Structure 1
Amino acid sequence: MSLKKEIAGVVRAVRTARGLDYGDLAKVSVKANIAKLEQGGSNITLNKLSELSEALDFDAVALLALCIAVQKDEPFEVTIKRATAQLDEFRNEGGEELLQSQFAGKTLVKRSRGKPGNARAADAVKELKASGLSQAEAAVRLGLAKSTVHRYWHS
Protein backbone atom coordinates (compact mmCIF):
# COMPACT_ATOMS: atom_id res chain seq x y z
CA MET A 1 0.00 0.00 0.00
CA SER A 2 1.81 3.05 -1.25
CA LEU A 3 0.85 6.43 0.15
CA LYS A 4 3.10 8.52 -2.15
CA LYS A 5 0.39 10.62 -3.73
CA GLU A 6 -1.57 10.97 -0.50
CA ILE A 7 1.54 12.12 1.39
CA ALA A 8 2.30 14.53 -1.47
CA GLY A 9 -1.13 16.15 -1.26
CA VAL A 10 -1.28 16.26 2.52
CA VAL A 11 2.23 17.71 2.90
CA ARG A 12 1.47 20.35 0.27
CA ALA A 13 -1.81 21.28 2.00
CA VAL A 14 -0.30 21.42 5.50
CA ARG A 15 2.77 23.35 4.32
CA THR A 16 0.57 25.86 2.49
CA ALA A 17 -1.87 26.19 5.41
CA ARG A 18 1.08 26.88 7.72
CA GLY A 19 2.48 29.48 5.29
CA LEU A 20 5.76 27.60 4.92
CA ASP A 21 8.04 27.26 1.91
CA TYR A 22 10.71 24.70 1.08
CA GLY A 23 13.32 26.75 2.89
CA ASP A 24 11.40 26.32 6.14
CA LEU A 25 11.72 22.57 5.73
CA ALA A 26 15.41 22.58 4.84
CA LYS A 27 16.46 21.02 8.14
CA VAL A 28 14.52 17.89 7.15
CA SER A 29 15.74 17.47 3.59
CA VAL A 30 17.11 19.33 0.64
CA LYS A 31 14.62 21.46 -1.29
CA ALA A 32 14.76 19.19 -4.35
CA ASN A 33 13.71 16.18 -2.26
CA ILE A 34 10.77 18.06 -0.76
CA ALA A 35 9.67 19.16 -4.23
CA LYS A 36 9.92 15.55 -5.47
CA LEU A 37 7.96 14.35 -2.42
CA GLU A 38 5.24 16.94 -3.06
CA GLN A 39 5.00 15.77 -6.66
CA GLY A 40 4.38 12.20 -5.48
CA GLY A 41 7.70 11.18 -7.00
CA SER A 42 9.44 9.74 -3.96
CA ASN A 43 8.82 7.61 -0.91
CA ILE A 44 9.55 8.77 2.61
CA THR A 45 10.75 6.80 5.61
CA LEU A 46 8.87 6.94 8.88
CA ASN A 47 11.84 8.75 10.43
CA LYS A 48 11.74 11.42 7.71
CA LEU A 49 7.95 11.68 7.99
CA SER A 50 8.32 12.26 11.73
CA GLU A 51 11.00 14.93 11.12
CA LEU A 52 8.85 16.53 8.44
CA SER A 53 5.83 16.67 10.73
CA GLU A 54 7.97 18.45 13.35
CA ALA A 55 9.17 20.96 10.76
CA LEU A 56 5.56 21.52 9.71
CA ASP A 57 4.56 21.84 13.40
CA PHE A 58 1.91 19.18 12.72
CA ASP A 59 1.48 15.99 14.72
CA ALA A 60 2.85 12.93 12.89
CA VAL A 61 -0.20 10.84 13.79
CA ALA A 62 -2.51 13.55 12.45
CA LEU A 63 -0.41 13.79 9.28
CA LEU A 64 -0.61 10.05 8.70
CA ALA A 65 -4.34 10.01 9.56
CA LEU A 66 -4.94 12.61 6.86
CA CYS A 67 -3.02 10.49 4.36
CA ILE A 68 -5.04 7.37 5.23
CA ALA A 69 -8.31 9.35 5.05
CA VAL A 70 -7.41 10.58 1.56
CA GLN A 71 -6.45 7.06 0.49
CA LYS A 72 -9.72 5.58 1.78
CA ASP A 73 -11.71 8.55 0.48
CA GLU A 74 -13.30 9.18 3.86
CA PRO A 75 -13.50 12.10 6.29
CA PHE A 76 -10.49 12.17 8.61
CA GLU A 77 -12.84 11.90 11.62
CA VAL A 78 -13.84 8.41 10.40
CA THR A 79 -10.17 7.44 10.13
CA ILE A 80 -9.50 8.71 13.65
CA LYS A 81 -12.58 6.95 15.09
CA ARG A 82 -11.51 3.66 13.52
CA ALA A 83 -7.98 4.09 14.89
CA THR A 84 -9.35 4.96 18.34
CA ALA A 85 -11.57 1.86 18.30
CA GLN A 86 -8.57 -0.30 17.36
CA LEU A 87 -6.48 1.25 20.12
CA ASP A 88 -9.27 0.55 22.62
CA GLU A 89 -9.46 -3.05 21.40
CA PHE A 90 -5.67 -3.33 21.69
CA ARG A 91 -5.87 -2.08 25.27
CA ASN A 92 -8.69 -4.52 26.11
CA GLU A 93 -6.62 -7.41 24.71
CA GLY A 94 -3.82 -6.54 27.14
CA GLY A 95 -1.81 -4.85 24.41
CA GLU A 96 -0.75 -1.90 26.53
CA GLU A 97 1.01 -4.17 29.02
CA LEU A 98 2.49 -6.24 26.20
CA LEU A 99 3.79 -3.07 24.57
CA GLN A 100 5.36 -1.87 27.82
CA SER A 101 7.04 -5.25 28.24
CA GLN A 102 8.83 -4.74 24.91
CA PHE A 103 10.89 -1.88 26.35
CA ALA A 104 13.20 -1.29 29.28
CA GLY A 105 12.93 2.47 29.53
CA LYS A 106 13.46 3.57 25.93
CA THR A 107 15.51 0.51 24.97
CA LEU A 108 13.90 -2.26 22.95
CA VAL A 109 14.09 -5.58 24.81
CA LYS A 110 15.77 -8.32 22.79
CA ARG A 111 13.49 -11.19 21.93
CA SER A 112 14.56 -14.78 21.74
CA ARG A 113 15.89 -16.05 18.42
CA GLY A 114 13.65 -17.85 15.98
CA LYS A 115 10.12 -17.35 14.83
CA PRO A 116 7.82 -15.99 17.56
CA GLY A 117 4.97 -18.27 18.56
CA ASN A 118 1.26 -17.58 18.78
CA ALA A 119 -0.06 -18.81 22.13
CA ARG A 120 -3.72 -18.68 21.02
CA ALA A 121 -3.03 -20.73 17.91
CA ALA A 122 -0.90 -23.19 19.88
CA ASP A 123 -3.69 -23.65 22.43
CA ALA A 124 -6.28 -24.11 19.67
CA VAL A 125 -4.11 -26.76 17.98
CA LYS A 126 -3.66 -28.61 21.29
CA GLU A 127 -7.43 -28.54 21.87
CA LEU A 128 -8.13 -30.00 18.44
CA LYS A 129 -5.41 -32.60 18.95
CA ALA A 130 -7.02 -33.60 22.26
CA SER A 131 -10.43 -33.84 20.58
CA GLY A 132 -9.03 -36.38 18.09
CA LEU A 133 -8.64 -34.33 14.92
CA SER A 134 -5.71 -34.91 12.61
CA GLN A 135 -3.06 -32.28 11.92
CA ALA A 136 -4.50 -31.72 8.44
CA GLU A 137 -8.02 -31.25 9.83
CA ALA A 138 -6.71 -28.84 12.48
CA ALA A 139 -4.87 -26.83 9.82
CA VAL A 140 -8.03 -26.49 7.73
CA ARG A 141 -10.27 -25.67 10.68
CA LEU A 142 -7.89 -23.03 12.07
CA GLY A 143 -6.73 -21.67 8.73
CA LEU A 144 -3.09 -22.28 9.66
CA ALA A 145 -0.24 -23.64 7.59
CA LYS A 146 0.37 -27.35 8.03
CA SER A 147 3.92 -26.61 9.17
CA THR A 148 2.60 -24.29 11.89
CA VAL A 149 0.13 -26.91 13.10
CA HIS A 150 2.91 -29.51 13.06
CA ARG A 151 5.15 -27.26 15.19
CA TYR A 152 2.41 -26.61 17.78
CA TRP A 153 1.26 -30.26 17.65
CA HIS A 154 4.65 -31.46 18.83
CA SER A 155 5.51 -28.69 21.27
Structure 2
Amino acid sequence: MNNLENGKVSVSLETLESVAKILDLRTVSLLVLATSLREKISPHELLAEVKKEVREFSSPRFLADFASQIENGELVRRPSGAQVSQKKLAAVRECKVAGMTQRETVIKLGLPASTVQRYWHKK
Protein backbone atom coordinates (compact mmCIF):
# COMPACT_ATOMS: atom_id res chain seq x y z
CA MET A 1 0.00 0.00 0.00
CA ASN A 2 2.93 2.31 0.74
CA ASN A 3 4.26 1.97 -2.83
CA LEU A 4 0.80 2.78 -4.16
CA GLU A 5 0.55 5.89 -1.98
CA ASN A 6 3.97 7.04 -3.15
CA GLY A 7 3.12 6.49 -6.82
CA LYS A 8 5.77 3.79 -7.25
CA VAL A 9 3.44 1.16 -8.70
CA SER A 10 0.61 1.11 -11.19
CA VAL A 11 -2.82 0.26 -9.91
CA SER A 12 -4.40 -3.02 -10.96
CA LEU A 13 -8.12 -3.66 -10.91
CA GLU A 14 -7.57 -6.00 -7.97
CA THR A 15 -5.82 -3.23 -6.04
CA LEU A 16 -8.65 -0.80 -6.80
CA GLU A 17 -11.17 -3.37 -5.61
CA SER A 18 -9.23 -3.84 -2.36
CA VAL A 19 -8.98 -0.10 -1.70
CA ALA A 20 -12.66 0.41 -2.50
CA LYS A 21 -13.61 -2.39 -0.14
CA ILE A 22 -11.60 -0.79 2.67
CA LEU A 23 -13.38 2.52 2.02
CA ASP A 24 -16.75 0.74 1.80
CA LEU A 25 -17.25 1.97 -1.79
CA ARG A 26 -17.94 0.29 -5.07
CA THR A 27 -14.86 0.16 -7.26
CA VAL A 28 -16.58 2.27 -9.89
CA SER A 29 -17.28 4.98 -7.29
CA LEU A 30 -13.60 5.15 -6.41
CA LEU A 31 -12.76 5.41 -10.11
CA VAL A 32 -15.30 8.22 -10.58
CA LEU A 33 -13.84 10.18 -7.67
CA ALA A 34 -10.25 9.70 -8.84
CA THR A 35 -11.08 10.53 -12.46
CA SER A 36 -13.04 13.65 -11.51
CA LEU A 37 -10.04 14.91 -9.54
CA ARG A 38 -7.66 14.18 -12.42
CA GLU A 39 -9.93 15.81 -15.02
CA LYS A 40 -10.79 18.72 -12.69
CA ILE A 41 -14.55 18.29 -13.04
CA SER A 42 -17.16 17.47 -10.46
CA PRO A 43 -18.09 13.82 -9.90
CA HIS A 44 -21.65 14.71 -10.98
CA GLU A 45 -20.43 16.12 -14.32
CA LEU A 46 -18.33 13.02 -14.87
CA LEU A 47 -21.27 10.76 -14.05
CA ALA A 48 -23.40 12.59 -16.63
CA GLU A 49 -20.70 11.92 -19.25
CA VAL A 50 -20.40 8.29 -18.15
CA LYS A 51 -24.18 7.87 -18.36
CA LYS A 52 -24.09 9.10 -21.96
CA GLU A 53 -21.21 6.75 -22.84
CA VAL A 54 -22.93 3.77 -21.25
CA ARG A 55 -26.15 4.55 -23.11
CA GLU A 56 -24.22 4.65 -26.42
CA PHE A 57 -22.55 1.29 -25.76
CA SER A 58 -25.44 -0.62 -24.23
CA SER A 59 -27.02 -1.93 -27.41
CA PRO A 60 -28.03 -5.60 -27.19
CA ARG A 61 -25.45 -6.49 -29.87
CA PHE A 62 -22.60 -4.78 -28.01
CA LEU A 63 -23.60 -6.30 -24.68
CA ALA A 64 -23.81 -9.79 -26.21
CA ASP A 65 -20.36 -9.34 -27.77
CA PHE A 66 -18.98 -8.06 -24.46
CA ALA A 67 -20.52 -10.98 -22.54
CA SER A 68 -18.92 -13.45 -24.96
CA GLN A 69 -15.50 -12.17 -23.86
CA ILE A 70 -16.04 -13.40 -20.30
CA GLU A 71 -16.31 -17.00 -19.13
CA ASN A 72 -16.80 -17.99 -15.48
CA GLY A 73 -16.16 -14.40 -14.42
CA GLU A 74 -12.79 -14.29 -16.18
CA LEU A 75 -11.70 -12.51 -19.35
CA VAL A 76 -11.21 -14.98 -22.21
CA ARG A 77 -7.56 -14.99 -23.28
CA ARG A 78 -6.86 -14.38 -26.95
CA PRO A 79 -3.64 -14.50 -28.88
CA SER A 80 -2.19 -11.07 -29.56
CA GLY A 81 -1.98 -9.62 -33.04
CA ALA A 82 -4.27 -9.88 -36.02
CA GLN A 83 -6.58 -12.87 -35.98
CA VAL A 84 -6.56 -15.18 -38.98
CA SER A 85 -9.81 -15.44 -40.90
CA GLN A 86 -9.90 -19.02 -42.14
CA LYS A 87 -12.36 -18.01 -44.87
CA LYS A 88 -10.08 -15.26 -46.21
CA LEU A 89 -7.00 -17.47 -45.86
CA ALA A 90 -8.67 -20.21 -47.90
CA ALA A 91 -9.72 -17.70 -50.58
CA VAL A 92 -6.18 -16.30 -50.87
CA ARG A 93 -4.71 -19.80 -51.06
CA GLU A 94 -7.17 -20.72 -53.83
CA CYS A 95 -6.04 -17.70 -55.84
CA LYS A 96 -2.39 -18.56 -55.25
CA VAL A 97 -2.90 -22.17 -56.37
CA ALA A 98 -4.75 -20.88 -59.44
CA GLY A 99 -1.60 -18.99 -60.43
CA MET A 100 -2.90 -15.50 -59.70
CA THR A 101 -0.59 -12.73 -58.52
CA GLN A 102 -1.08 -10.99 -55.20
CA ARG A 103 -2.32 -7.89 -57.03
CA GLU A 104 -4.89 -9.93 -58.95
CA THR A 105 -5.95 -11.53 -55.67
CA VAL A 106 -6.41 -8.12 -54.03
CA ILE A 107 -8.65 -7.03 -56.90
CA LYS A 108 -10.63 -10.26 -57.06
CA LEU A 109 -11.24 -10.62 -53.32
CA GLY A 110 -11.43 -6.93 -52.42
CA LEU A 111 -9.04 -7.43 -49.52
CA PRO A 112 -6.33 -4.99 -48.43
CA ALA A 113 -2.94 -5.71 -50.02
CA SER A 114 -1.42 -6.15 -46.54
CA THR A 115 -3.94 -8.89 -45.71
CA VAL A 116 -3.34 -10.70 -48.99
CA GLN A 117 0.43 -10.49 -48.48
CA ARG A 118 0.19 -11.82 -44.90
CA TYR A 119 -2.04 -14.74 -45.94
CA TRP A 120 -0.02 -15.38 -49.12
CA HIS A 121 3.09 -16.24 -47.09
CA LYS A 122 1.30 -17.93 -44.18
CA LYS A 123 2.33 -21.54 -43.62
TM-score by length of 1: 0.47
Mapped to 1, the partners of 2:47 and 2:116 lie a distance apart of: 41
Which residue is 2:35 aligned to?
68
Which residue is 1:102 aligned to?
69
Shift of 1:106: 2.1
1:82 aligns with 2:49: yes
1:151 aligns with 2:114: yes
Look up the SS of the partner of 1:83 in the other structure: helix
Shift of 1:52: 0.9
**One-letter amino acid matched to 2:26:** D
CA separation of 1:151/1:94 partners in 2, compared to 1, >3 Å: closer, same or farther? farther
Mapped to 2, the partners of 1:43 and 1:112 lie a distance apart of: 24
CA separation of 1:89/1:153 partners in 2, compared to 1, >3 Å: closer, same or farther? farther
**One-letter amino acid matched to 2:25:** F
**One-letter amino acid matched to 2:15:** K
Look up the SS of the partner of 2:58 in the other structure: helix
Higher RCO (CA 8 Å, separation ≥ 6 residues): 1
Which residue is 2:59 aligned to?
92
The higher radius of gyration belongs to 2
Size of the aligned set, in residue pairs, is: 92
Shift of 1:49: 1.4
Which residue is 2:12 aligned to?
45
After superposition, what is the alpha-carbon deviation per residue over 1:58-104, rounded to whole angstroms, capped at 9, x for unaligned?
11101111111111111111111111211111113722111111123
